[in-house]
Amino acid sequence: MKGLQNKVIIVTGGAGGIGSATCKRLAEEGAKVAIFDMNLEAAEKLAHEINSQNGQALAIKCDITQSDVVEQAVQQIEKELGPVDGLVNNAGWDIFKPFVKTNPQEWEKLIQINLVGMLNMHFAVLKGMVARNSGSIVNIASDAARVGSSGEAVYAACKGGLVSFSKTLAREHSRNNIKINVICPGPTDTALLAGVTEGASNPEKLREAFVRAIPLGRLGQPEDLASSIAFFLSDDASFITGQVLSVSGGLTMNG
């Protein structure tokens, strides 16, 4: 892909399933990757793996729900790697329960991680991108935002908010040459999905139901997402902004 060489790109939740595949793919494309995650041990392990294969990566412990921590982490990246060219808002969390069985503490945690966290991240990087008149942001939502998903009401509300926030910011910052796009994974084989299915009364049945619903007949793999994320960040996508792409084996076929 064009234009990723030496670009400084932050990936939140970079040590998780989709995040780590994305960090590896971006490093293969020549980018300098900043792995932001709560799980520093996993982030450092991934950075070591990328650096030992001639890539460039830096692990940073960052809880995206804390605005001061996010500001400091972004400043550290700018000092150590250079100005931020790209951001992937990928960190996320979910629980699988009918809405009436959830409680306000669970809503609060879902909203903090899936909605407030990405607001903090945009706020921290956009000032620099505006000043440089350049930048690309990819936000990881979910097909739950587009078509709904039983058992994920508050999560879907956060991801729906992320989609409309992204379209609004894409309009606000088009004059600054900043592109903002959204990718919606469907069920993808990661720890998050394992957690979701474990919360169901029959986890194996739920997994089978997910696969049956996907026209291409399998769960997504993290690498399926990583390639689309890298594309949106690259110069190959320089005329694309405010768009929402489902990467889910045909689960959602939106016009």
Ligand X SMILES: NC(=O)c1ccc[n+]([C@@H]2O[C@H](COP(=O)([O-])OP(=O)(O)OC[C@H]3O[C@@H](n4cnc5c(N)ncnc54)[C@H](O)[C@@H]3O)[C@@H](O)[C@H]2O)c1
Q: Which of 57, 113, 126, 138 binds ligand X (CB under 6 A)?
A: 113
Question: CA-to-CA distance for 173 and 249, rounded, in angstroms?
Answer: 31
Min CB(139)–ligand X separation in Å: 9
Paired tokens of 34: 């900043």
Instruction: Determine, following the binding rule CB under 6 A, whether residue 91 of this chain makes contact with ligand X.
Output: yes
Tokens found for residue 114: 């899936």
Establish if 139 lies at the interface with ligand X (CB under 6 A). Answer: no
Candidate ranges 25-33, 51-59, 78-86, 180-188; the one touching ligand X (CB under 6 A): 180-188
| Residue 232 CB, nearest approach to ligand X (Å) | 14
Minimum distance from residue 62 beta carbon to ligand X (Å): 6
12, 181, 228, 241: residue in contact with ligand X (rule CB under 6 A): 12
Residue 112 DSSP one-character state: I
DSSP 8-state assignment for residue 250: T
Residue from 28, 30, 39, 109 in contact with ligand X (CB under 6 A): 39
Q: Is residue 65 involved in binding ligand X (CB under 6 A)? A: yes
Among residues 10, 18, 169, 180, the one that binds ligand X under rule CB under 6 A: 18
Would residue 152 show up in a list of annotated catalytic residues for this protein? no
Q: Where are the alpha helices (DSSP H) in the chain?
A: 17-28, 40-52, 67-80, 104-111, 117-132, 143-147, 153-172, 191-198, 203-213, 222-233
| CA 220 to chain CA mean position, Å | 15
State both tokens at 152.
């994920």
Catalytic residue among 155, 165, 210, 232: 155
**Residue 249 binds to ligand X (criterion: CB under 6 A):** no
CA-closest candidate to residue 34, choices 93, 101, 103, 83: 83
Residue 77 in contact with ligand X, rule: CB under 6 A: no
The SS3 call for residue 92 is coil
Task: Tell how far CA 175 is from the center of its chain.
Answer: 24
Among 37, 44, 85, 152, binds ligand X (CB under 6 A): 37
Shortest distance, position 239 Cβ to ligand X, whole Å: 26
Q: Please report how close the Cβ of residue 109 comes to ligand X at its closest, in angstroms.
A: 9
Token pair of 184, please?
A: 């919606």
90 binds ligand X (CB under 6 A): yes
Give the C-alpha distances (Å, rounded to integers) separating 29 from 7, 104, 154, 162. 10, 42, 36, 27
Q: Taking CB under 6 A as the rule, does residue 121 contact ligand X?
A: no
Catalytic machinery residues: 155
Which chain residues interact with ligand X by CB under 6 A? 12-13, 15-19, 37-39, 62-65, 90-94, 113, 117, 140, 142, 185, 187-188, 190-193
